[in-house]
Structures are given as C-alpha cells and as structure tokens.
Amino acid sequence: MADVREHWIASIPGDGIGIEVIEQAHRVLKQLEKLSKTFKLHIDTFNWSSNDYLKTGEYIPADGLKTLKKYDAILFGAVGSPDVPDHISLWGLILPIRKMFNQYVNLRPIRVLPGLSSPLKHIDAQDLDWVIVRENSEGEYAGQGGTTHDDTPYTIANEVAVFTRQGIERTIRFAFDTASSRPRKHLTLVTKSNAQRHGLVLWDKIFYEVAAEYPDVKTDKMLVDAMTVRMVLKPSTLDTIVATNLHGDILSDLAAALSGSIGVAPSSNLNPTREFPSMFEPIHGSAPDIAGLGVANPVGTFWSVAEMLKWLGEQEAGEKLMKGIEKVTESGFKTKDIGGNADMVTVTEALLRELEN
Amino acid sequence: MADVREHWIASIPGDGIGIEVIEQAHRVLKQLEKLSKTFKLHIDTFNWSSNDYLKTGEYIPADGLKTLKKYDAILFGAVGSPDVPDHISLWGLILPIRKMFNQYVNLRPIRVLPGLSSPLKHIDAQDLDWVIVRENSEGEYAGQGGTTHDDTPYTIANEVAVFTRQGIERTIRFAFDTASSRPRKHLTLVTKSNAQRHGLVLWDKIFYEVAAEYPDVKTDKMLVDAMTVRMVLKPSTLDTIVATNLHGDILSDLAAALSGSIGVAPSSNLNPTREFPSMFEPIHGSAPDIAGLGVANPVGTFWSVAEMLKWLGEQEAGEKLMKGIEKVTESGFKTKDIGGNADMVTVTEALLRELEN
Ligand SMILES: CC(C)[C@H](C(=O)O)[C@@H](O)C(=O)O
Ligand SMILES: CC(C)[C@H](C(=O)O)[C@@H](O)C(=O)O
C-alpha cells in the first residue's frame, strides 16, 4: 500500500451550527476515503469553542497553534456565541489562525448551484460565476488602533488599516494566477482609492505593475460602492475579483446572497507558500438561533471540504464531491434557506448515497 | 410681497453629466418658483471643475468656501474626470465641502419609484422603503494616514479611521429621530464590530445608550457583510439604517441598485444644526462615458432638489416636485438605465408639464 497518500486534518467545529455541519462533513470525508482507497485521512477534532472560553478565558490553549501547525489542513465550522462579544470570539479563535498561519488569501468561488436560483431577475444561472480573492492577513483587519478618553464625552477611537507592498502584491499575484487559469481570464480590482488616499492608492499602483506581467489577463477597476451595483445589475460582466480584507468580506457575502444563499458558499483561507496549513470553512456563521435543530444547510461546509481535498492534491475526490453536491441540490434535497424542506441529515445522506454511485 | 420667502442657492455642476443634470435642475427650480409665488430663489452657479483644476491646480478658489458659507443650500452635480486621479478630485472639491460645513449626516432615502422595478425577484415595490443615515464627517473618511518607504519593497501605507463619541452620537441621534418620524419606527445599526474592535465597538455602545432614550423605536444590529445579505433576501424587514461613512457609502449604492438604478437616488449632506449650508447631490457620479450625450438620468438630481426644498422649509414645493417626478417615471418618461428610451431633456420637459397641472 505504498501509494496510499495520507492527510492529517485538524477539525475545529467551534460554536452553534458549526458543530453539527462539521459532524456531517466528517461522514462525507469518511465515505470518500472508503471509496477512493488511494488516500487515507486522519481527522483530529479540537473542540475549541465559546463554552471553553467562558470556562477558561481562552479559545485556543497555550500550545494550540503549535499543535495545529503539524496538520496538512484545518477544517473549521463557525465561531460566535450570544454569550461572548463577537470581537472577543473572533480575535480569540478564527483571526489568530488566519494570521499565524499566514493564510493571506481568502478564496471564495461563487456560482448558482443546480437547483438553486438567484434572487435576481433577468439572469441565467451561468451569468453568475465568480471567484473572489480576498486579502486575508492585513488591511482593515490588521488589529491596530485603540481608544482614548474612554467613558468621557471626548472618547476617540481609531481603527488603523495597514497595507504593505508585500501583503498586497502577493494577493494580487495570486489573483492574476487565478484569473489566468479561468476560461474568461478577466480580473476586476476593487478599491476605494478615491476616498482612501494611502493604502488603497497603493493597491491600484501595485495592481497595474503586476498586470504588466500578465498580458493574457484582461483587467478593470471598480470602486467598492459602485461594485455592488455592478454585481446586482451586470453580474455576467464579472469573473475574478480581487479586494482588500474588508471589501472582500462585504462583497463575498453579497455575492453569496446573489447566488441564492449564504448557506452554500465556501471559503478557503490559503497559505499559498504551503509553509503552514490552510483552513477551509463555510462562509456562514454560527447561527445560534437555529443551532442544534438539525436544519442547518451543510452545503457550504461540503463545498469547503471539496476545496480542501483539491488543495491537498486529491483533485479527483474533490471533483467527485462537488459533482455529488450538485446532484443533491439539483434533485431537490435542499434545506429551507434554499427553498427546500429537507433537514441537514437528509441532505447529508442524499450526498452519501450519491457518492456511492 | 412681504411674505415671499427668499432662498440663496449655490449651484456647483462640477464635471461630466453633473453639468447637464444641474442645468435641468435649474429649469425645474425656476418652474416651481414661478408657480409658487410664495418663495423666490437666487441661484448662483460656481463652475468649479476638474478643468479648472488642470489649469489652476485648485478646485475651490482661495475664498471659495467663505463665499459658499453665505448660501442657504448647495446643489451639487458630480465630480470626477479621467484626467485627474479620483483621490485628488474628491479631496479637492466634494469632501472639503462636506467637512468644512459640518455636514455630518448623509441622508439617503431609497424607494422603488412608480414605473421602476427592482432587479430582485419576489418583492413588491413597497417592500423596499428605506432611509440610510450615513455618518458623513469622520470614520474611514477622516483623511488620516500615510505612506512610508515609498517605492521600496517595504512600502507600508496606513488608513486611519477616526471615530469620536460626539461624531458618532450626533449621527445616531439623528438616525433615531428619523426612525421615530417614520411609520414603522425601526432602526438597524450596521457595524463590523467583530473584526474592528475599537471605533466600531464604540458605535455599538453609543447606539444602545441613545436607544434607551427612544423607547418608541425598535432596534436591531447587523454586521455590514451580513447586512448586504439581508438587503437582498429580506428587504421588507428593514426601515431606517445607520452606518459609518464607508459602510453607509457601500450600502447606499447597493440599495440604489436594488431599487432599480443608481440614476434615481438622491443624497442630502446635512448640517443639522443649520450653522452652515447643507448640500444636495444625486448619488451617481460624473459618468464621463456618457457626458454631453444628453442621455443622463436627471431623476437623482430632481429628487435631490425635492429634498433641498423641504430642508429649506418649502415643504409644499418639495412634495409637489416629488409627486411630479413619480408621475413622470410612472408615465414611462424614463432614460435607458431605468428601462426607457427618453433622453434627459424629454424627461425634464415631461416634468415641467406635469408641474403645471
Ligand atoms: C467571522 C468574521 C471575522 C469573518 C470575517 O469578517 O472575516 C466572516 O465574516 C468571514 O467572512 O469569514
Ligand atoms: C465621490 C465619493 C467621494 C463619494 C463617497 O464615497 O462618499 C460617493 O461615492 C458618494 O457616495 O457620495
């Protein structure tokens, strides 16, 4: 069995519906492993959650990141709890992983899956086929800033967005590579360099420098506000999109909504140098209002798993999974958010059966 | 004629289609004045533009702001030219006016006008009836930040968003007053206080403090990314919205697109203390690609004029104008962007006739 490839996966279900969708993802991964026979998966689960934080004051134990570092990939559910302020939970769990492992690209493919429909009139499903390349390590999420004169009438708080040439350039290069690998070879830069005169102007400048090295990629440039208009009114004019951390965050949620539901969209937090593990997570959150009810949409997590498998070199399994997901949504095994009435386990089991075929 | 009210208006057409839509606005204002007999308008035009800048190095002449200050209101077209970087033109003309005159609220009503249709499926026109209250004086547009190690591999650029208690509080109060005056009395706060831990957390805190003084207003809170999803998928759950300068900028463009076109949406840059003139402008830009062709949609400017008249105390004329605009769009006098084939002057003249009735 010398040619069986082995992959070590750290699984972090987190909070709320993260816990249940990750459980379904494990079932799917085991099925794929069983069917393939050419790879073996070692999945270790880390139950780091807001409950832990409330008990211990920490999300990630002292040696946690060191432990994670040894894995080939991280599968993440969701974090967020009504009992912990969001800025504590996110800076306690998800943001440190993105930053420590230099996952500087957040890659978000958006398509209208078969059986789903866009809330937009007048578009065909194939009009909306985008990849958003979001800078994932700095910018508006740099974590700098602070508050002065707290609890006085003169309180002042700053958020400092930090943009570095290397941080911008590596993301833009990744975006050009992505665009160049897609049939339409088109890349749209999003900034707000009219109002934000420093970091965003630097984005524009580096974008055009790098563009010169990719003569095969057609480019254009949008302001983030006008970009939302184009996404809604002219979706077919877009292909690959590159944006800052915050702009990419906003635009990818909008994109997911325009594709039918935020419940199906995946995201890959990539360390393209492969020095550290990359992390795969659905773009939806922990949805405390429906947690534990078994009605969460597992498709965003399954699609993230497909992306993870491809990243790990298991192209065939990743594609098989993606085809399976599409068959399942097409056949009407859909949760309520995408117009069906199946529960989470029914969708998962439809997928497991589909994978057997 | 002692009871004729007089209003001094500074008109700044600016660049591109700004020039032609403002010309139409003047025709409409003159018609309203003629018909009303209870007010008189003095309109002075200031041709500050990118052309001027290219000649003189300045948009606003040395004493320009001092001159403007004497007016009761400013009517603005658009600024932006292919020959001047946007961050120069905007910080040269529009942003200094917003800031110098302490126009700390940018008010953006969004509705689906009669005869227009939302690009969203499954919604009735009345499901989308929002007012966005955008902070307009600080935040991400504070203008702080800079670049170090320029033209080296180590370039670093910062954008510093500045949030002050008084800046936030006055905008939030305005938003509560606005919500409280609307039938549904509902206000949604938008922040990104999970990722941005200083200024945005301060927004949350002040919002709930002020909320306690408005027991008649129902409130809720969204993250800016999730807000785009709610706007697309559940538009009828929203009423009044308050957000930071950048978030408000992005969400109001999205809102305009969801209401049918960015060409119809108005914006009021308000100095609620009335110490300084307020400024009224369509939310669209200078659109150099169609400038001079006579096909620009003048409705965003007309609606802005209606808001200006109401702000000046001419409630009746403002409402008459708004009704006229709605009659015109309903009767099919529409430019191409909203599905018609009328040119700008045809739309204007339909409105002039409508006002006579
Ligand atoms: C949970 C939150 C920190 C996160 C982000 O803002 O990046 C989420 O919205 C996302 O898009 O992954
Ligand atoms: C022109 C630009 C500076 C402006 C802004 O970003 O505020 C515009 O987009 C707007 O919304 O009025």
pLDDT, tens digit, 9 for 90 and up, residues B163-218: 999 999 999 999 999 999 999 999 999 999 888 889 899 999 999 999 999 999 99
Query: What gap in Å lies between CA B53 and CA B42, rounded to an integer?
Result: 26
Structure-block tokens of residue B181: 């005056």
User: B163–A158: do the CB atoms touch at under 8 Å?
Assistant: yes
Q: What's residue A2's pLDDT?
A: 56
Percent of chain B with pLDDT over 90: 95
Q: What is the pLDDT of residues A134-174, one digit of tens each?
A: 999 999 999 999 999 999 999 999 999 999 999 999 999 99
Query: Do A86 and A199 fall into the same domain?
Result: no
Give the residue whose CA is nearest to atom 5 of ligand 1: A249
Looking at residue A30, what DSSP letter applies? Answer: H
The reply to whether ligand 2 has any atom less than 6 angstroms from the CB of A225 is yes
CB of B225 closer than 6 A to ligand 1? yes
In a domain, B109, yes or no: no
Ligand showing the shortest atom-to-Cα distance for residue B136: 2
Q: Is residue B111 part of a domain?
A: no
Q: Are A304 and A281 in contact (CB under 8 A)?
A: yes
The reply to whether B99 and B185 lie within a common domain is no
User: Is B54 at the interface with chain A, CB within 8 A?
Assistant: no
Atom of ligand 2 nearest to the CA of B249: 11
Number of domains forming the structure of chain A: 2
Do β-strands A156-164 and B156-164 pair in parallel, antiparallel, or remain unpaired? antiparallel
Alpha carbon separation from B325 to A178, B295, B321 (Å, rounded): 46, 17, 6
Structural domain contains residue B108: no
* Cα–Cα distance measured from residue B56 to residue B60, given in angstroms and rounded to the nearest whole number: 10
pLDDT at B60 over 80: yes
pLDDT value of residue A29 = 98
Q: Rounded CA gap, B78 and B59, in Å?
A: 13
Q: Is residue B112 included in any domain, yes or no?
A: no
Ligand nearest to the CA of B223: 1
Report CA(A249)–ligand 1 centroid distance (Å): 7
The DSSP code sequence of A123-174 is: --GGG-EEEEEEE-SSEEEEEEEEEESTTSTT-EEEEEEEEEHHHHHHHHHH
Domain that holds residue B74: 1-103+263-357
Evaluate whether residue A238 is within a structural domain: yes
**Would you say residue A108 lies in a domain?**
no
Query: Which is it for strands A139-148 and A5-14: parallel, antiparallel or unpaired?
Result: unpaired
Q: Same structural domain for residues A295 and A354?
A: yes
d(CA B215, CA B217): 6
Residue ranges for chain A with pLDDT beneath 50: none
Interface of B with A in 281-310 (CB under 8 A): 285
Q: Quick check: A199 and B157 CB within 8 A?
A: yes
- The shortest CB-CB distance from A228 to any of B87, B226, B257 is to B257
Q: What pLDDT was estimated at residue B3?
A: 82
Smallest Cα distance from A42 to chain B, Å: 32
Point out the residue among A89, A145, A228 whose CB comes nearest to the CB of B199: A145
- pLDDT at site B357: 86
Nearest to B121 among A119, A141, A233 (CB): A119
Structure tokens at A336: 């309520």
Listed residues B259, B280, B297: the one ending a domain: B259
DSSP H or E run through A11: strand A5-14
User: Beta strands A73-78 and A278-282: pairing type?
Assistant: parallel
> Based on the domain organization, do B43 and B59 belong to the same domain?
yes
From chain B, the residues in CB contact with A252 under 8 A are: 225
Q: Which atom of ligand 1 is nearest to the CA of A79?
A: 1
Residue range B247-302, pLDDT digits in tens: 999 999 999 999 999 999 999 999 999 999 999 999 999 999 999 999 999 999 99
pTM of the model: 0.96
Residue of A94, A105, A106, A141 to test ligand 1 pocket, by largest number of atoms within 8 Å of CB:
A94
Q: Which residues of B touch A162 (CB under 8 A)?
A: 156-158
Question: Which one of A196, A253, A257 has the shortest CB-CB distance to B140?
Answer: A196
Asked whether residue B2 carries a pLDDT value surpassing 60, the answer given is no
Q: Which residue among A259, A283, A308 closes a domain?
A: A259
pLDDT for the residue numbered A310: 98
**In this predicted model, which residue has the larger pLDDT, A122 or B344?**
B344
Residue A183 near residue A129 (C-beta atoms within 8 A): no
Ligand nearest to the CA of A94: 1
**pLDDT tens-place string over residues B28-58:** 999 999 999 899 999 999 999 999 999 999 9
How does pLDDT run across B299-324, given as a tens digit for each residue? 999 999 999 999 999 999 999 999 99
B183 and B232 within one domain:
yes
pLDDT for B262: 94
- Phi, psi (degrees; rounded to nearest 5) at A301: -70, -40
Handedness of CA B235, B241, B243, B246 (dihedral sign): positive
Name chain B contacts of A198, Cβ cutoff 8 Å: 145-147, 157-159
Which pLDDT does position A37 carry in this prediction? 87
Q: Which of B120, B135, B159 to probe the A interface (max A CBs under 10 A)?
A: B159
Q: CB contact, 8 Å: A48 with chain B?
A: no
The verdict on B122 and B254 lying in the same domain is yes
Whether residue B257 contacts residue A235, with contact meaning beta carbons closer than 8 Å, is answered with no
For B230, name the nearest residue in chain A, comparing CA atoms only.
A257
Residues A198 and A291 in one domain: no
Same domain? For A284 and A249 the reply is no
Ligand 2 contacts CB of residue B283 (under 6 A): yes
Same domain, A137 and A69: no
- Alpha-carbon span B100 to B102, nearest angstrom: 5
Same domain, A96 and A123: no
Partners of residue A160 in chain B, C-beta under 8 Å = 145, 158-161
Beta bridge partners of A122: none
A40 belongs to a structural domain? yes
Q: How far apart are CA A153 and CA B166, in angstroms?
A: 7
In sequence order, what are the beta bridge partners of B158?
Answer: A162, B146
For A243, the 3-state DSSP assignment is strand
With a cut of 80, say whether residue B1 has pLDDT above it.
no
Residue B110 lies in a domain: no
Give the residue among B322, B320, B330 at the shortest CA–CA distance from B356.
Answer: B320
Both tokens of B152, joined, read 């080296």
CB contact under 8 A, A258 and B192: no
Same domain? B247 vs B300: no
Per-chain mean pLDDT for chain B = 96
Q: Is A239 left (phi over 0), alpha (psi -120 to 50) or beta?
A: alpha
Q: Which of A326, A318, A248 is nearest to A283 (CA)?
A: A248
Tokens of B280: 């009224």
| Last residue within a domain, chosen from A224, A259, A294 | A259
Q: According to the model, what pLDDT value does residue B205 have? A: 95
- Tell me which chain A residue has its CA closest to the CA of residue B199: A157
CA B303 to chain centre: 10
Atom of ligand 1 at shortest distance to CA of B225?
Answer: 9
Whether residues A77 and A167 share a domain: the answer is: no
How many angstroms separate the CA atoms of A117 and A281, rounded? 23
CATH code of the domain in which B144 resides: 3.40.718.10
